[in-house]
Structure 1
Amino acid sequence: MAQQTKTGHVYVISNVGSFGENVFKVGLTRRLEPLDRIRELGDASVPFEFDVHALIHSEDAPSLERELHKRFVREQVNKVNPRKEFFRVALPNIRQVVDGMGLQAQWTMTAEAREFRETQAVERAMKSQSFEEGAWIQQQLKEQEAARVEETRKEAVA
């Protein structure tokens, strides 16, 4: 049973729109579907979704996570609270350490940052007045209301 609780995934994710370039969160999840945890992290507490750079399956995910945190301790973003798990380091450096540990992982080296880049495009269009802002505002308000209705429905079910 103890071994089952250690099995999981260590993830390397970024959120360029929220934290800038070369800031990565190295964390772990024991969920059967690790992307559920990553989507959860990108919900309401940050303005943009996270991009996944690597998911590393491990029979001892807590030890692997601790080892990676030790290797990048000097690059912690929050030097006061190490539980935040964010590091300012180039992604190739993280990959080199993981590869050097003999671990297998699929890597995505470039952050898509879809929501952030789309937001930048909207802001440029607003600035140049090259799109219908009134229609965009109405659409945003409609989507906000739909999200509120869905959240109320979820709370009622829970």
Structure 2
Amino acid sequence: MDYRQENATAGYVYIISNIGSFGPDVVKIGVTRRLDPQERIDELGSASVPFKFDVHAFIFSYDAYSLEAKLHQRFNDKRINKVNNRKEYFHVSIDEIEKVLEEYKDLTVDFHEIPEAVEYNQSLALEH
């Protein structure tokens, strides 16, 4: 049996950026219950943005929705869309997010600070 059937709140909180689309220090903090969280990121990057998203962290949690809500609350003053809270974009540095996540001792967080931004950087190189 899949752990997600037993625990409806289990999943991954993801922290992603897209510097080519939104500039530096803009991240999306979201949640997915998919077994492969990268599928969700690929979906987001294939729709309405010119470049793919970079993943800074996938954080597995048995209470992923609660963790996501706590992070949204923590960075609420850095929320980009102050009107629609369903828009999960924040103007915050990766370093600041990483420091906050260090407070959660029970989580295993594999953090990637520097976005690869492969397509964006290739596009910039082709301009020069």
Instruction: Specify if TM > 0.5.
Output: yes
How do 1:85-104 residues align onto structure 2 when only pairs under 5 Å count?
85-102=88-105, 103-104=107-108
Unaligned segments of structure 1, at least 5 residues: 125-158
The alignment covers a number of residue pairs equal to 124
Aligned counterparts of 2:67 and 2:5: Cα–Cα separation in 1:
16
**Among 67, 72, 86, which residue is 1:69 paired with?**
72
Partner residue of 2:113? 109
Which structure ranks higher in relative contact order (CA pairs < 8 Å, sequence separation ≥ 6)? 2
Shift of 1:105: 0.5
> If you compute each CA radius of gyration, which structure gives the higher value, 1 or 2?
1
Shift of 1:41: 0.4
Shift of 1:44: 2.3
Instruction: Confirm or deny that 1:84 pairs with 2:80.
Output: no
| TM-score under structure 2 length normalisation | 0.93
Aligned counterparts of 1:29 and 1:53: Cα–Cα separation in 2:
15
Deviation readout 1:16-45 (Å, 9 max, x if unpaired): 000000000000000000000000000021
Aligned counterparts of 1:2 and 1:61: Cα–Cα separation in 2:
14
**Among 49, 52, 63, which residue is 2:52 paired with?**
49
Shift of 1:86: 0.4
Aligned counterparts of 1:119 and 1:6: Cα–Cα separation in 2:
39
Aligned counterparts of 2:83 and 2:125: Cα–Cα separation in 1:
36
**What secondary structure, in the 3-state scheme, does the structure 2 residue paired with 1:12 have?**
strand
| Code of the aligned partner of 2:74 | R
**What secondary structure, in the 3-state scheme, does the structure 1 residue paired with 2:46 have?**
coil
**Among 33, 37, 43, which residue is 1:30 paired with?**
33
Shift of 1:3: 5.2
| Code of the aligned partner of 1:107 | F
Question: Which has more helix, going by share of residues?
Answer: 1
Shift of 1:94: 0.3
**What secondary structure, in the 3-state scheme, does the structure 1 residue paired with 2:58 have?**
strand
Q: RMSD value over aligned CA atoms?
A: 1.3
Shift of 1:80: 1.2
Shift of 1:121: 1.1
Aligned counterparts of 1:2 and 1:70: Cα–Cα separation in 2:
27
Shift of 1:101: 1.9
